[in-house]
């Protein structure tokens, strides 16, 4: 279930992300990212980079996690919850998914 506070323009990417279609999620978020400014731009850039990290890990075998760390630079500029998404939980789930195959993190609302 997608967070109710999530920007409607980001919903398609969030659905793809939760299904493990990380490259497609990345692509779905590109358009909104190009129009975004300020914190919203950092938020979307972080989501795109998390998607890229997972895609590179599980489709290309990359073990560097460079995109994960780049995502953190954007997401750490924001509160722990932003745009209806629990960013701390998302980052933890992605980190775990980078080390354990078969996991599909999702954007979730804060508890």
What are the φ/ψ torsions at residue 84 (nearest 5 degrees)? Answer: 85, 5
| CA dist., res. 8 & res. 73, Å (int) | 24
pLDDT band at 97 (very low <50, low <70, confident <90, very high): very high
User: Is 4 a member of any domain?
Assistant: no
Cβ neighbors of 15 (< 8 A, separation 6 or more) are: 2
When pLDDT is averaged across residues 69-88 and rounded to a whole number, the result is 97
pLDDT of the residue at 80: 96
pLDDT of the residue at 111: 86
**pLDDT tens readout for residues 30-58:** 999 999 999 999 999 999 999 999 999 99
pLDDT band at 94 (very low <50, low <70, confident <90, very high): very high
Q: Is the pTM of this model over 0.85?
A: yes
- Quick one: CA dihedral 79, 14, 24, 39, positive or negative? negative
CATH of the domain at 23: 1.10.3450.10
User: Is 69 a member of any domain?
Assistant: yes
Number of structural domains in the chain = 1
Chain mean pLDDT for the chain: 96
When pLDDT is averaged across residues 72-91 and rounded to a whole number, the result is 97
User: Is 32 a member of any domain?
Assistant: yes
User: Is 57 a member of any domain?
Assistant: yes
pLDDT of the residue at 1: 79
pLDDT of the residue at 21: 96
């Amino acid at each position: 279930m997608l967070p109710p506070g999530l920007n409607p323009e980001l919903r398609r990417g969030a659905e793809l992300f939760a299904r493990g279609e990380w490259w497609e999620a990345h692509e779905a978020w590109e358009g909104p990212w190009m129009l975004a400014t300020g914190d919203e731009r950092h938020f979307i850039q972080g989501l795109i980079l998390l998607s890229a990290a997972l895609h590179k890990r599980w489709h290309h075998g990359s073990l560097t996690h460079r995109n994960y760390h780049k995502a953190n630079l954007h997401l750490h500029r924001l509160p722990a919850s932003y745009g209806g998404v629990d960013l701390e939980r998302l980052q933890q789930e992605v980190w775990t998914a980078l080390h354990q195959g078969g996991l599909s993190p999702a954007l979730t609302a804060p508890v």
